[in-house]
Each structure stands twice: as structure tokens, then as C-alpha cells.
């Protein structure tokens, strides 16, 4: 090894190289061919320099009848991937004014850098009514070159007339009241909470932080005060990941539970994605600010459904076919 270094690290036989890594075509839909594609009406040019921009685009869905959605994917145009920090898509019901207050709008999907699709578990879906519009709320960030984007969403729909058993909700969960990250700090923790009035089943979570984001954990706090760590996941600002639970591992929480979202942030020079470790960082919408929450998909259970699934999991554990997240639940 020393001789190889002293020789200037010469390249070996190219025939011994591994095959080049094959990357997916970023114009390809990961959900397969969508049943419906909705695109903003005109391409938007993001200038080479300038402040971050948040722009609302309202687009008719084109639906003439009510349908339920089983998968949704947000996708910038191939060039636009470099400048779309994130994009929120909302369902705007028919007869609703184009009012960004969101009082009558329902979250459809959140795209973040590197994210693929939201695929809903079998038997769950989200209703989009005939005549609805789609609101695209897009956060653009200049990167030193002019880039053109025309973001779209693709939907996979249940067959006509099919109504899934459960309606899936997507909610930004656990955003703290404030964020205070000192210059150079390497391990700053933030905490947020969300309570549930009914039993729920959590089907997926997606950490949402910015450049200083490091790690996220989800903890269940049960009505009797017991705490159970559900999952922890590392965070990379350049690669947003949705963590979808297998059906028998998806956390089920009784009525009165809370979900505790714990995030860690790294503002030190050791964080290679840190734009400026000398800066104090607080909560904000800009890329250079910080956020701290989780996009959580869940659906409500009746008390009978909760007790039946809980009993099923306890039985699986008793017979040796254990699943995740049962230790706290079986004691309810």
C-alpha cells in the first residue's frame, strides 16, 4: 500500500472496475403510469440569483366525478429538480375561492428534494371531488444558473365507484414553537408533539428539516404516561425519504396518545451541507433557515378496530411471530 501511494496512486486495470452505477431516469414516474397527471400551466424560470420564492399555482384537476387516490407523486421537470426545494400540493374543493389560507384545503402531497411517491396502504385512500383544483405551493431556490421548471403531480386512482375503508390523513406533525441553534453547535435538539383523540394507525413518516438537519426520532406517549420509542432515522437534506411501515409493524395508538417528534440539528463546520456554521439559525421558510417536523400519514380507527388489531398483534407475539412496536401496545 505504501509503495502504491509513493508511486502516485496509479490506476489499476480498468477491466477490474465495477460496472457503472445506473441511476433512474428522473423523468420517470416511480408509481408507474399515472391515471391522472396535473401540471402547472406554464414553465417557470428561476433566475440564477435572487431570494427564495414561494409561488402558488392553481390548476383544474379535470375530474368530472369523485375519485379516491391510492398513490400520489410530485415531480419537478428534469431540470427543475435542482431548484425546487419543496412543493406542497393541496386539494381545493369545488366552489372554493383560490384562498391560500388553506381553511378549506386538504394536503395532497409534499415533494421534497429526492423524494419519491406516497403510496397508500391497501384499503386506504384520499378523496378528490369532481371539479376540484390542485394548488401547487412551490418553494424555489436559485443556484447560480437560470433554470426552467414545470412541476406536476401524478395520481393513481382506485377504480370508479370504489370507496376505500379508511381515509388517510397527511399532517405536518411536531413543529416546535421556536428553533434556537447557536453558531457552531453540533447537537441541538428540538421537540414537538401531536395528540390523538381517537385510536390511530400510523402508516408512514417523513422527516422534514433543512441543511442543519441530522436525525429524527418518533416516540409514542401513552395515556398512562408510558413512553415507547417507535423509530429513528438519519436525515440528509439532499435526499428526502418516506418511511412506509409494513402493515403489521405500523404503530397503532390508543385514543388519548401523543406522538413526540424529536429532531437533532448540526450547525458545526463538520456538517458538509452547512451553508455557514458562523450563523445563528432559527425557524423559517428559507433554505438557509431551519425547520423541524415530520410528515405523518395516519388514519383513524374505531375502538373496536383498535382492540381487534391489538389482540391480533398480541397473539402473533405470543406465538413467536412478533412485530415491531408491540411492547407498549400490548399492555393497553
What pLDDT is stored for residue 259 in this prediction? Answer: 97
What pLDDT is stored for residue 103 in this prediction? Answer: 65
State the fold for domain 36-161.
Answer: Jelly Rolls (2.60.120)
Please state the φ and ψ torsions of residue 312, each to the nearest 5 degrees: -65, -40
Distance, in Å, from the CA atom of 137 to the CA atom of 159, rounded to the nearest integer, reads: 28
Q: Which CATH architecture has domain 170-316?
A: Sandwich (2.60)
C-alpha cell, 26: 428522473
C-alpha cell, 257: 396518545
Residue 112 has pLDDT above 90, yes or no: no
What percent of the chain is predicted at pLDDT more than 70? 94
The answer to whether the predicted template modeling score (pTM) of the entire model surpasses 0.85 is no
Instruction: Give me the mean pLDDT over the 312-318 stretch.
Output: 88
What pLDDT is stored for residue 321 in this prediction? Answer: 59
| Region of residue 321 (left: phi > 0; alpha: psi -120 to 50; beta: else) | beta
What pLDDT is stored for residue 331 in this prediction? Answer: 34
Distance, in Å, from the CA atom of 149 to the CA atom of 155, rounded to the nearest integer, reads: 20
Query: Beta partners for 138?
Result: 55, 87
Q: Out of 114-123, 166-175, 229-238, 307-316, which region has the weakest mean confidence (pLDDT)?
A: 114-123
Tell me if 135 sits within 8 A of 90, measured CB to CB. Answer: yes
What pLDDT is stored for residue 328 in this prediction? Answer: 36
Domain 36-161 and domain 170-316 have a common topology: yes
What pLDDT is stored for residue 324 in this prediction? Answer: 45
124-128 vs 166-167, strand pairing mode: parallel
Residues 55-79: pLDDT tens digits? 999 999 999 999 999 999 999 999 9
What band does 326 get if pLDDT is binned at 50, 70 and 90? very low
Concatenating the DSSP letter of every residue in 5-67 gives HHTT-----GGGSPPPPPPPPTTS-TTSS-SEEEE-SS-EEEPSS---EEEEEEEE---SS-E
Residue 97 has pLDDT above 70, yes or no: no
Burial classification of residue 178, based on how many CB atoms lie within 10 Å of its CB (0-12 exposed, 13-18 middle, 19 or more buried): exposed
> Sign of dihedral through CA atoms 323, 115, 72, 294?
positive
Residues 147-197: pLDDT tens digits? 999 999 999 999 999 999 999 998 889 999 889 999 999 999 999 999 999
Residues 205-260: pLDDT tens digits? 999 999 999 999 999 999 999 999 999 999 998 888 889 899 889 999 999 999 99
What pLDDT is stored for residue 153 in this prediction? Answer: 96
Q: Out of 3-7, 192-196, 287-291, 326-330, which region has the weakest mean confidence (pLDDT)?
A: 326-330
Residue 142 has pLDDT above 60, yes or no: yes
Residue with cell 390523538: 196
What pLDDT is stored for residue 3 in this prediction? Answer: 87
Mean pLDDT for the chain? 90
What pLDDT is stored for residue 274 in this prediction? Answer: 93
Instruction: Give me the mean pLDDT over the 295-310 stretch.
Output: 95
Domain spans, the chain: 36-161, 170-316
Amino acid at each position: 500500500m505504501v509503495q502504491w501511494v509513493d508511486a502516485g496512486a496509479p490506476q489499476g486495470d480498468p477491466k477490474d472496475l465495477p460496472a457503472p452505477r445506473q441511476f433512474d431516469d428522473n423523468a420517470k414516474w416511480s408509481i408507474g403510469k399515472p391515471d391522472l397527471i396535473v401540471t402547472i400551466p406554464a414553465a417557470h424560470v428561476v433566475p440564477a440569483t435572487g431570494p427564495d420564492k414561494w409561488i402558488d399555482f392553481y390548476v383544474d384537476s379535470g375530474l368530472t366525478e369523485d375519485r379516491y387516490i391510492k398513490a400520489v407523486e410530485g415531480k419537478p421537470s428534469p431540470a427543475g429538480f435542482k431548484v425546487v426545494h419543496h412543493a406542497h400540493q393541496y386539494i381545493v374543493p369545488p366552489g372554493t375561492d383560490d384562498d391560500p389560507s388553506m381553511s378549506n384545503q386538504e394536503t395532497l402531497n409534499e415533494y421534497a428534494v429526492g423524494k419519491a411517491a406516497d403510496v397508500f396502504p391497501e384499503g386506504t385512500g384520499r378523496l378528490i371531488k369532481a371539479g376540484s383544483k390542485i394548488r401547487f405551493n412551490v418553494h424555489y431556490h436559485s443556484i447560480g444558473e437560470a433554470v426552467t421548471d414545470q412541476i406536476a403531480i401524478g395520481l393513481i386512482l382506485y377504480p370508479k365507484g370504489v370507496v376505500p375503508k379508511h381515509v388517510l390523513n397527511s399532517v405536518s406533525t411536531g413543529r416546535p414553537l421556536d428553533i434556537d441553534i447557536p453558531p457552531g453547535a453540533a447537537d441541538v435538539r428540538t421537540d414537538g408533539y401531536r395528540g390523538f383523540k381517537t385510536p390511530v394507525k400510523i402508516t408512514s413518516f417523513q422527516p422534514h428539516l433543512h441543511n442543519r438537519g441530522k436525525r429524527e426520532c418518533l416516540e409514542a406517549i401513552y395515556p398512562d404516561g408510558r413512553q415507547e420509542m417507535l423509530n429513528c432515522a438519519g436525515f440528509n437534506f439532499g435526499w428526502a425519504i418516506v418511511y412506509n411501515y409494513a402493515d403489521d409493524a405500523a404503530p397503532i395508538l390508543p385514543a388519548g396518545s401523543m406522538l413526540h417528534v424529536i429532531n437533532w440539528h448540526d450547525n458545526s463546520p463538520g456538517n458538509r451541507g452547512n451553508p455557514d456554521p458562523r450563523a445563528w439559525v432559527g425557524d423559517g421558510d428559507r433554505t438557509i433557515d431551519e425547520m423541524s417536523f415530520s410528515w405523518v400519514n395516519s388514519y383513524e380507527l374505531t375502538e373496536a378496530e383498535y382492540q381487534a388489531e391489538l389482540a391480533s398483534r398480541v397473539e402473533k407475539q405470543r406465538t413467536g411471530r412478533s412485530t415491531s412496536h408491540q411492547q407498549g401496545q400490548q399492555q393497553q
